[in-house]
Amino acid sequence: MTWSSPTEFLAMGGYGAYVWGAMGMSIIAVCAEQMLLGRRRRSALLQAVREQRMQKKAVQ
């Protein structure tokens, strides 16, 4: 498929709203997943540190 102008490219033969909407939602979903993974990782690391501290206190 060839486009003669940027406007035609963005219109995607009349399916531009669907194509760009789907692309935008995909990008949002990937970014949200990265954010949530970072939060979960941070939470897991903090929990592991707390458990180690509790174990050290229990041993002493």
Q: Residue ranges of the domains in the chain? A: 6-59
Tens of each residue's pLDDT in the chain, 60 residues: 677 899 998 898 899 999 999 999 999 999 999 999 999 999 999 999 999 999 988 887
- Average model confidence (pLDDT) for the chain? 93
Say how far apart CA 8 and CA 10 lie, in whole Å: 5
pLDDT at residue 25, as a whole number: 98
Residues 1 and 13 sit within 8 Å (Cβ to Cβ)? yes
Check residue 15 and report its DSSP letter.
T
